[in-house]
Amino acid sequence: MSRNVRVLLVVIGVLGTLAAGYGMWQDGFSGMRLIELVVAISLVFAPRLLAAGEREAD
C-alpha cells in the first residue's frame, strides 16, 4: 500500500472520529454514532496494521 493511501485513510479516519464525536456531543449517544466512531477509529489504525502485515510477509 502506498504512503499516499495510508495518509488518506488516516485523514479520513481522524475527520470521521471528529464528526462522530461532535454528533454525539450535539445529539447524544446512539448506537449509530458508536458504529461511526468505531469505523473511523479503525481507519486511523488500519494503515499501521497493514504495514506491519506487509513487513511480516517479506
Amino acid at site 18: L
Per-residue pLDDT tens listing for the chain (58 residues): 688 888 888 899 999 999 999 999 999 888 898 999 999 998 888 888 888 877 777 6
* Measured distance CA(24)–CA(52) in Å, rounded: 32
* Residue 17, pLDDT score: 92
**According to the model, what pLDDT value does residue 43 have?**
87
Q: Quick check: helix, strand or coil at residue 43?
A: helix
Domain ranges for the chain, please list them.
9-53
Angle at 46 between CA 41 and CA 49, to 5 degrees: 130
Supply the pTM of this predicted model.
0.74
